[in-house]
Amino acid sequence: MKIVTIIGARPQFIKAAVISREFAQYGDIEEIIVHTGQHYDSNMSDIFFEEMSIAMPKYHLGIGGYSQGSMTGKMIEKLEEVLTTEDPDYILVYGDTNSTLAGAIAATKLHIPIIHIEAGLRSFNMNMPEEVNRILTDRVSSLLFCPTQEAYKNLEAEGLEHWKSKAFVSGDVMQDGAFFYGNKAKPLDLDMRSDDFALCTVHRAENTNSEARLREIFAALTLLSKKCQIVLPLHPRTKAQLADFCIDIPEAVKVIEPVGYLHMIWLIKNCSFVITDSGGLQKEAFFFSKYCITLRDETEWVELVSEGVNILTGASRAKILDTYEQFRAKPPITFDQSLYGGGLASQKIVQTIIKDFETI
């Protein structure tokens, strides 16, 4: 069996590492990795292949830094060439990026079955490009692996029974990765005034493209930095937008360059709580039993909100500060890890793919 795996953004590298390691347990599976280049900063792409101990991509398309439409179009064109050359039995895509959608479109046109890992997630906000990407990818995929029961229900509500697709609740491969790499975390020397710190990331377009939202978030961080140490790995897009909008980063905030996954795991394990607009980091906070302030108006991970370990604040300064006080008052607890499959997702996914291939 030959599978072409298409990845292009940081979280996908981590997910691919987990599945690739499971594929390697079977000698009759050939995996071809294609890196679209959607994340082209070396600290946010190449380093992950080294840290995750997975094979470097056979193809690197180098497509990054374009507008949404231009990037997706260029990817479709290049991926069609790769898929025509490789003629795989399946293509495999992760999540909700432009790389994901481009891979799905290119494969659909060539009648190649599509495997979508992290299927069924919905924010119900069609203004988010990620929401459009995930909905369209789900609709044309052959094998849909849902990280949660809620994600599976979303597919059912959209008419899954009428699709030529098979859907499964597999658990979350990000949890597999967090458990596997948790003991391999690399410490950082941050030279801070306190070991008690909050980990913050801001990169979503809904925040970085809005001067009002970005200004409000950083006003909240200014006030929070008087109460606790904040560590901010600064995304290149966010850095550029802050400069364009003339928004100052509080001096008390510890700004660092984007870090590799093993450094990020160390930051999550050692922080007091997380402030983020990242979908992946919301879950990683949960995996390591950390409360999360989410700088979004909605989330795909609704079960975390139901559990009370994740609170949506949007870009509201008042809500961010109020949530901080709520979490500070709560005792540390160990979160129920069975919510996302308990670390067995990769096994379930690969075994299901093998069974499906045997029926072709």
Quick one: CA torsion of 19, 49, 182, 119, rounded to 10 degrees? -40
pTM: 0.86
**Per-residue model confidence as pLDDT tens digits over 35-49:** 998 875 554 456 666
Helix (DSSP H) and strand (DSSP E) numbers for the chain = 15, 13
Which of 54-58, 186-190, 292-296 is modeled with the greatest confidence? 292-296
On whether both 348 and 334 belong to a single domain, the answer is no
In a domain, 144, yes or no: yes
263 & 156 share domain: no
How far is the C-alpha of 266 from the C-alpha of 185, rounded, in Å? 5
Q: Is residue 178 part of a domain?
A: no
- 104 and 82 within one domain: yes
**Cα Rg of the chain, angstroms:** 20
Over residues 3-44, the pLDDT tens digits come to 999 999 877 888 998 999 999 999 899 999 999 988 755 544
Q: What angle do CA 190, 195, 200 make, to 5 degrees?
A: 70
My answer on whether 156 and 29 are in the same domain is yes
Range of the domain at 331: 183-339
Domain-embedded: residue 176:
no
The answer to whether residue 286 sits within a structural domain is yes
CATH number at residue 217: 3.40.50.2000
197, part of any domain: yes
Classify residue 147: in a domain, yes or no.
Answer: yes
Please indicate, yes or no, whether residues 17 and 166 belong to a single structural domain of this protein: yes
What average pLDDT does this structure show over 266-285? 95
12, 115: one domain: yes
Q: Is residue 213 located within the same domain as residue 313?
A: yes
Indicate whether 204 belongs to any domain.
yes
Indicate whether 79 belongs to any domain. yes
Catalytic residues, which ones? 203
Same domain for 164 and 193, yes or no, is no
Task: Encode pLDDT of 204-255 as tens digits.
Answer: 989 999 999 999 999 999 999 999 999 999 999 899 999 999 999 998 999 9
Say whether 259 sits in a helix, a strand or coil.
Answer: coil
pLDDT tens-digit series, residues 110-163 = 999 999 999 999 999 998 889 999 999 999 999 999 999 999 999 999 999 999
| Residues 109 and 131 occupy one common structural domain | yes
pLDDT score at 65: 78
Confidence of residue 360 (pLDDT cuts 50, 70, 90): confident
What's the domain count of the chain?
Answer: 2
- Same domain flag for 215 and 68: no
Measured CA to CA, the distance from residue 161 to residue 167 in angstroms comes to: 10
- Position 173, amino acid: V
Residues 120 and 138: beta-carbon distance below 8 Å: yes
126 with 231, same domain: the answer is no
**Same structural domain, 335 and 348:** no
